[in-house]
Structure 1
């Protein structure tokens, strides 16, 4: 089936129950490399990405400019620490929804995460979520969510041989996901209730608590997609 539209999935707490494991392995990796004073108030950061938060804490601790060449070494350690934690499970119904889009609709899928890449791939594998590695974009080379989502969209265009998707829906659980979608001028579906108040304050059009009662026709109507 030709893919005329696109779904861009966030990963942590959108498809996988991995936020706690992610934060623990991320913080422990920073501690391993001597970054001992860590600002864990994540919402205070301009960009909610592993690379940006690592950069800010690195510079605050070592009083020197951050170099991206450090990211691969840090990523390997974080992945090692992540693998030592309890395995990631899917958000209930997530795997079925991903399969639904791929097999039964004209929506292509890709993944855009503020995580570093290796831990992101581990989460998807452990949760048994169907994915193509080339369609996963992470924060290794980008500091902003907008750059990550834009790159994921471009990867999807290349992979599915599409010049332009008619509709693009970004799916995420964080207020930063909604703001990124707004900044890029694409549709947004919010999932889970932990940030529902924030979503509502920004006049979200479509929201679901989880994937178990997923009604795509209703969502398309709410997003005014014909």
Structure 2
């Protein structure tokens, strides 16, 4: 089905309530590689992605260059740890809103996450979110949020059979989601209320606490799309 517009979706705490167990699993996997002293203020990192955080701490701990060849084992350990937690719930209304976008609007969807791939897939599956694997990009082979989002958008162009989308709206819960959208020149809507101060400082035009509050017509109006 061809779509003329696109929705770009972060996952952790945007579609799924998963940030705490994601962080635990990330730290557990780093410990498996002998990394025990980790700065967990993710804002201090050049890139807020699992692969980059792993690489920075790997190089700091072991004094040698990181290789993406380490990712498969890292992903395996992280996924096994993630599976020890209870199933991931959705952010209220996430299941319905994805189906709404896909079935009732001229917006396609894609998923762009700083997470390693397999835990990201698990979150969506456990939360019952209608996920399209062909349009999901993770940090397995990419460090920067801009590269991850750009890759997801390119996958969406191929999936929906278009050269370009007329309007692109990114949804995310954190400062780096806002920054990435601004750097790429696409619209942004904040989700979740934990980072509302950051959203205000970044002059985010529209914010929702959860998906039960979302109204497409209102969102387009606030973003100046219609």
TM-score range, shorter chain: over 0.9
Instruction: Give, in whole Å, the separation in 2 of the partners of 1:116 and 1:205.
Output: 30
Shift of 1:49: 0.3
Task: Provide, for residues 63-101 of structure 1, a one-character-per-residue CA deviation record: whole Å limited to 9, x for no partner.
Answer: 111111001110111011101111101001001000000
Asked if 1:2 corresponds to 2:20, the answer is no
**Alpha-carbon distance in 2 for matches of 1:74, 1:214:** 36
Structure 2 portions without partners, runs of 5+:
none
Q: How many residues align?
A: 226
Equivalent-residue separation in structure 2 for 1:24 and 1:113 (angstroms):
17
1:208 matched to 2:208: yes
TM-score, structure 1 as length reference: 0.98
CA-atom RMSD, angstroms? 0.8
Please report how far the alpha carbon of residue 41 of structure 1 lies from its aligned counterpart in structure 2 after TM superposition.
1.5
Give secondary structure in 1 for the equivalent of 2:212. coil
**Secondary structure at 2:103 match in 1:** helix
Partner Cα distance (2:155, 2:181) in 1: 17
**Structure 1 runs of 4+ with >4 Å offset:** none
Task: Name the counterpart of 1:145.
Answer: 145
- For normalisation by structure 2, the TM-score amounts to 0.98
Please give the alpha-carbon distance, in whole angstroms, between the structure 2 residues aligned to 1:105 and 1:166: 14
Q: Which moved more, 1:88-97 or 1:30-39?
A: 30-39
Structure-1 residue corresponding to 2:77: 77
1:5-25 Cα deviation digits (max 9, x unpaired): 000000000000000110011
Say if 2:192 and 2:208, in contact at 8 Å, map to a contact too: yes
Q: Secondary structure at the match of 2:157?
A: helix
Q: Is 1:154 aligned to residue 158 of structure 2? A: no
- What is the alpha-carbon distance in structure 2 between the residues aligned to residue 180 and residue 116 of structure 1? 18
Aligned counterpart, 2:20: 20
Determine the structure 2 residue equivalent to 1:185: 185
Q: How does 1:55-74 map to 2 (within 5 A)?
A: 55-74=55-74
**Deviation at 1:134?**
1.3
Matched, 1:101 2:101: yes
